[in-house]
Structure 1
């Protein structure tokens, strides 16, 4: 779980910077979503998938809005995960 938290922080930082290509950012979100699925973090995973799909489909405005919302959901999720450690 600690590795998931660390990897997610790094991945979200990269995506939020927006310096990678849309496909690279989609791949980062895809990897995080897979790990979230393994841990049963459903809501966060759903939001990751929505942002990933928007990036892959060239829906940049929607993708940016979804990416902005990820941090809030991630902070809530991270707090719950840290409490479980």
Structure 2
């Protein structure tokens, strides 16, 4: 049974939410992405000499490992591990 009265309104409870969602989409469409790099990060990028020194050090270790000349100081390694885990 269908009841149609004179007080029938065309009320859609989701219409306001749908309009809000559409407005947000339009607003986001007009925004451009931005990227900001801090001064500290710029300084880190400029200090390529440290990176070059580190790369040379890593290459030396790789070479020593490949040739079998790399030796680990077990006492020094254990000491550093203990200091790290005890918070010293």
TM surpasses 0.5: no
Q: Which has the higher contact order (CA 8 A, sep 6+)?
A: 1
If you compute each CA radius of gyration, which structure gives the higher value, 1 or 2?
Answer: 2
Q: Give TM-score, length-normalised by structure 1.
A: 0.26
